[in-house]
């Protein structure tokens, strides 16, 4: 009896620990399961379209503020541009991951640690002020796009690629999206069958 009480207590304690740990880690990790490649491609396309609409609007609106607010020492997103892009990315990621803290954190990370260092650096090497407004729109969009869905010439990866999975069409096992709809093992079997 004594052992059983201890066991129950252990389970409760472990559950509590797990819950706390999960909460602590939630903002770091997210996972998206797509039913197939079409759904994956469609989700990325929709996401980038919505983000593009935001960037197309908020960069021109405050283009002049991007260097003025720093007293001409560097360029960065103006406060409203930063908030708009951050919240738009947050909203798009939340739609896909259903994870609020992760989406919030990644939105801030992309504006503050990805876009702003690029703008800062372009200003420092004397290029930013020669850029036309539409160049800055393209620049910011392409930085975000590369970060989220990877190098377009390589066709995979990015943040979304790293958290996206399919259930293997053959065995149902979770599999990374960059290998196609079949998991490694099932893909291997197909290859073997064809070569025989
Ligand atoms: Zn499989």
Residue 72 has pLDDT above 60, yes or no: yes
Instruction: Report pLDDT for 67.
Output: 92
Asked if 105 and 52 touch (Cβ cutoff 8 Å), the reply is no
d(C-alpha 75, C-alpha 11), whole Å: 54
Q: How many CA atoms lie within 13 A of 105 on its CB side?
A: 13
User: For the residues 96-100, what does the mean pLDDT come to?
Assistant: 96
Q: Tell me which residues have their CB within 5 A of the ion that is ligand 1.
A: 168, 170-171, 173, 183, 186
pLDDT single digits (tens) 8-24: 888 888 888 888 888 78
- pTM of the predicted model, to two decimals? 0.85
User: For the residues 170-189, what does the mean pLDDT come to?
Assistant: 88
In sequence order, which residues have a C-beta less than 8 Å from that of residue 65 and are 6 or more positions away?
A: 78, 81
Q: Which residue would you say has higher pLDDT here, 192 or 149?
A: 149
Find the 156 Cα to ligand 1 centroid distance in Å.
20
């Amino acid at each position: 009896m004594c052992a059983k009480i201890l066991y129950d207590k252990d389970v409760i304690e472990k559950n509590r620990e797990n819950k706390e740990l999960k909460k602590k880690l939630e903002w770091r990790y997210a996972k998206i399961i797509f039913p197939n490649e079409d759904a994956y491609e469609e989700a990325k396309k929709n996401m980038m379209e919505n983000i593009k609409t935001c960037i197309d609007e908020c960069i021109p609106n405050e283009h002049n503020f991007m260097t003025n607010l720093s007293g001409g020492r560097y360029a960065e997103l103006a406060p409203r541009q930063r908030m708009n892009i951050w919240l738009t990315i947050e909203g798009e990621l939340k739609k896909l991951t259903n994870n609020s803290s992760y989406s919030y954190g990644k939105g801030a990370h992309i504006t503050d640690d990805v876009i702003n260092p690029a703008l800062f650096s372009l200003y420092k090497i004397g290029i930013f002020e020669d850029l036309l407004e539409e160049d800055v729109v393209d620049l910011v969009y392409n930085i975000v796009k590369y970060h989220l869905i990877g190098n377009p010439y390589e066709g995979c990866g990015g943040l979304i690629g790293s958290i996206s999975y399919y259930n293997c069409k053959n065995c149902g096992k979770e599999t990374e999206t960059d290998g196609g709809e079949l998991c490694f093992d099932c893909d291997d079997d197909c290859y073997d069958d064809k070569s025989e």
